[in-house]
A = this chain, B = another copy of it.
Amino acid sequence: MATTGSAPAASVPQRPMRADARRNYDRLLDAARTTLTEVGSDAPLEEVARRAGVGIGTLYRHFPRRLDLLEAVYRKDVEKLATSAERLLAAASPWDALEGWLTEFIGYATTKRALFHELVDAVGRDSELLTYSRQVITTSATSVLARAQEAGVARRDAEPGDLLRLVGGCTMMADLEPDQQARMLRIVLDGLRA
């Protein structure tokens, strides 16, 4: 389910990136996420390039249009959620998997808050990316919740969608104060415990 993490989101088998290009690509994605969530969704790409320590031309070589960068940031967060779900399901206790995944989900919700509007405007709510995103998240949330319920550590009447809206919505509403976010998550988790 998780992708292999090959950089360009789409398409054909291509030669692997050169090491330096790969490093710049990753740096750019990281810089983009922090810049966009901190400065706002209208952050200049020059600022992203600056934080990544590369020239603006390099940014554009990897992401020919602003939208390509936004999509890649969003997609990476979604993929990370899917990967986390797999890893946690395989290696953590049912409860820890649930808690760990929701913690990661908060990071995703922060990214989503910054990018979602612009993405919807540009590619539409039914684009491949957003459809894929909904599917991945629903699947992951369902998995970690179901395992916790089957293990008897989570309330049986909780639905994955409720969980997502509670944690995600509170994250967005909580205006990015990290300690508030952690507290909200604690409340939700306490409420969930069987």
Contact = CB atoms under 8 A, between A and B. Distances in A.
Given A165-B184, A184-B165, A173 B40 contact: no
A111 interface: no
A120 interface: yes
Interface in A88-135: 109, 113, 116-118, 120-121, 125
Contact of A117 (B40, B162, B165, B171): B40
Contacts of A41: 42
- For this chain, the copies found in one complex come to 4
Contact of A173 (B120, B165, B184): B165
Contact of A170 (B42, B116, B165): B165
| A interface residue count range (under 10 / 10 to 19 / 20 to 34 / 35 or more) | 20 to 34
A7 interface: no
Contacts of A118: 40
A145 to B, nearest CB: 17
Interface of A: 40-42, 109, 113, 116-118, 120-121, 125, 162, 164-166, 168-175, 184, 187
